[in-house]
């Protein structure tokens, strides 16, 4: 397996929830590639997706650093792990949290549990890298869900983030996202210093997810 990551965030798209989430996970599992294919799914769908695609790496979209007890509505890391999650996103542009939240979460989860902290810009990426999550993913909010990849619209933020993160910690991987849809986008991300991509609509809204997934890993 290569070090390249392709993380597909299912968000709450109609085409990637419930039974559709299971179908998409099976499609991801079917792709022949050396890249790490990862599905970031709703907490509601976690157990079902893990059961539907047992060989696929499955992450949560968010977790909270809470203990057992009176925490109505919060997402406990231990429950996610028990239900099959091997990692999580945190601080996504659509679900921002504090640096303290990220730090506390990192202290609570096991060392082998992946945490990918999302950043809107180079400075936020630098601050998150200092906490040493497994990955930092830079995603300019204005490009998320758009038709133009961050690798084309703002390549400097990818290369700048890669350098900033490396300056802080040599152990933190770098992902980029926002508008990523093709194998050429993934290849460009790698050229700019990223070790993978975080995307959503390029797969979740595709008329042919399998074809889109194959294209994404075609140049790796």
**Number of domains the chain is built from:** 1
Rounded distance between C-alpha atoms, residue 207 and residue 181, angstroms = 13
> 32 catalytic, yes or no?
no
Per-residue confidence (pLDDT) for residue 2, from 0 to 100: 58
Q: What is the CATH number of the domain that holds 176?
A: 3.20.20.70
Taking 90 as the threshold, does the pLDDT of residue 142 lie above it?
Answer: no
Catalytic residue among 22, 57, 124, 139: 139
Provide the percentage of residues in the chain whose pLDDT is more than 70.
99
Please tell me which residue in 57, 92, 114, 124 is annotated as part of the active site.
Answer: 92
pLDDT of 59 reads 98
* Per-residue model confidence as pLDDT tens digits over 181-215: 899 999 999 999 999 999 999 999 999 999 999 99
What is the average pLDDT across 46-70?
98
123 a catalytic residue: no
Q: What is the pLDDT of residues 85-136, one digit of tens each?
A: 999 999 999 999 999 999 999 999 999 999 999 999 999 999 999 999 999 9
pTM of the model: 0.95
pLDDT of residue 16: 97
Q: What is residue 219's predicted lDDT score, i.e. its pLDDT? A: 86
Mean pLDDT of the 55-80 span: 98
Residue 146 has pLDDT above 90, yes or no: no
3-state DSSP of the chain: CCCCEEEEECCCCHHHCCHHHHHHHHHHHHCCCCCEEEEEECCCCHHHHHHHCCCCEEEECCCCCCCCCCCCCCCCHHHHHHCCCCEEEECCCCCCCCHHHHHHHHHHCCCCCEEEEEECCHHHHHHHHCCCCCEEEECCHHHCCCCCCHHHHCHHHHHHHHHHHHHHCCCCEEEEECCCCCHHHHHHHHHCCCCEEEECHHHHCCCCHHHHHHHHCCCC
**Average model confidence (pLDDT) for the chain?**
94
pLDDT of residue 1: 43
Q: In terms of residue numbers, what domain contains 30?
A: 5-216
């Amino acid at each position: 397996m290569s070090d390249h990551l392709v993380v597909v965030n299912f968000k709450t798209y109609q085409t990637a929830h419930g039974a559709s989430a299971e179908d998409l996970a099976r499609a991801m599992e079917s792709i022949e590639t050396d890249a790490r294919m990862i599905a970031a799914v709703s907490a509601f769908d976690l157990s079902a997706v893990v059961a539907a695609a047992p060989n696929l790496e499955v992450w949560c979209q968010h977790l909270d650093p809470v203990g057992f007890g009176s925490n109505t509505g919060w997402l406990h890391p231990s429950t996610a792990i028990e239900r099959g999650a091997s990692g999580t996103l945190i601080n996504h542009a659509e679900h921002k949290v504090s640096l303290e939240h990220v730090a506390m979460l990192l202290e609570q989860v096991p060392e082998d549990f992946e945490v990918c902290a999302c950043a809107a810009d180079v400075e936020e990426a630098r601050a998150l890298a200092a906490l040493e999550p497994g990955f930092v993913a830079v995603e300019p909010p204005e490009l998320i869900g758009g038709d133009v990849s961050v690798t084309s619209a703002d390549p400097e933020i990818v290369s700048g983030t890669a350098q900033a993160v490396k300056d802080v910690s040599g152990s933190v991987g770098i992902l980029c996202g926002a508008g990523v849809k093709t194998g050429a986008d993934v290849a460009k991300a790698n050229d700019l210093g990223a070790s993978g991509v975080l995307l959503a609509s390029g797969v979740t809204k595709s008329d042919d997810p399998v074809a889109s997934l194959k294209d994404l890993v075609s140049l790796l």
